[in-house]
Amino acid sequence: MGVSYFYEYAAYLGFVQQTAVWRTRNWQELNYEFSLFPLIPYSASFQDANNRRSVGPFEVQRVAKNRFWHILGTDLLGRDVAAGLVAGTRTAMLVGLLSMSIATLIGLLLGSFAGYFSDNLFQLSIFQIITFVLGVIIGFFIAFIAYYQRFILLENYNLISFFTSIALFSGIVFVFSVFR
């Protein structure tokens, strides 16, 4: 009967606390029936002290074996760039999956409402689409002004800017209400 290394693997992944014996154990020296090692033997947060200061992939790297070669080099702290790329891809894929799930849910809801109400409620003219896009751009412009000028109403320039922003926003609301 074989020996189970499930606990040690879970500790390696960070799901459980490692014991002191397994923290310093070299996994490649263990006797396994079958082993599959990753192409990138580093984690994204591991700092290689021998290869700091942005070592490139084709520069001289101080590694024990060719297996520990940094495929895409290291950054200033000695972290492997390829491992960071894989970790960043995981985060980006998670964000993309979450945002596309939300977009799918909203699309299904709007599509089912449009199908139920025979698509009369959700019809937009070209003018409404253009004014909506312009309204969003002007809304970002107003938010930009509000963030960077803080609207201190004691100075004349900020007071004029404040009322100009209010007038632009009111004009967009007027256009939406009249030409609907």
Q: The pTM is what?
A: 0.45
pLDDT, one tens digit per residue, over 41-66 is 777 887 888 877 777 777 777 777 76
Query: Based on the domain organization, do 53 and 108 belong to the same domain?
Result: yes
Most confident by average pLDDT, 28-32, 106-110, 134-138: 106-110
Q: Sign (positive/negative) of CA torsion 10, 14, 18, 23? A: positive
pLDDT given at position 1: 47
* pLDDT given for residue 8 in this prediction: 67
Q: Domain end: 75, 99, 117, which one?
A: 117
Residue 74 — φ and ψ, nearest 5°? Answer: -125, 165
Same domain for 33 and 46, yes or no, is no
Range of the domain at 24: 1-37
**Is the domain of 113 the same as that of 45?**
yes
What DSSP line would sit under 9-41, residue for residue?
HHHHHTSSPPPHHHHS--GGGS--SS----S--
